[in-house]
Amino acid sequence: MRLVSLLETESRGAFIKVWHWLDNLPFGMGAEDHSMRAVTEYRDRAQECRKLARMVHKLEDKYALDCAAQSWERLADRRERDIDAED
């Protein structure tokens, strides 16, 4: 398999993973989870989106992944504020 083809396959799989996270946000680790575990998970997801954005070649894919990363970062920030407010 050519390297370009391999990268395209890997990035497509990672893209599917990112959108699966977003589609399933209301379930599992979502609005009810105010733990630091959620904050860490959200920041990890943002980092993975940014890593994937560096791998893809299409500008619109880079933009979509950057938007997803920003959403995960905002969600992590919101969870941190909620945790601080509980203390």
| Tally of domains in the chain | 1
For residue 5, being part of any structural domain is answered with: no
Predicted TM-score of the model (pTM) = 0.67
Report residue 3 as tokens.
Answer: 């390297």
**pLDDT confidence tier of residue 2, bands split at 50, 70 and 90:** very low
Rounded to 5 degrees, φ, ψ at 79 are -65, -40
**pLDDT confidence tier of residue 77, bands split at 50, 70 and 90:** very high
Rounded CA-CA distance 4/38 in Å is 35
Highest mean pLDDT among 3-7, 12-16, 28-32, 83-87: 83-87
For residue 66, being part of any structural domain is answered with: yes
Q: Which domain holds residue 58?
A: 34-87
Say which range, 31-40, 52-61, 62-71, has the weakest mean pLDDT.
31-40
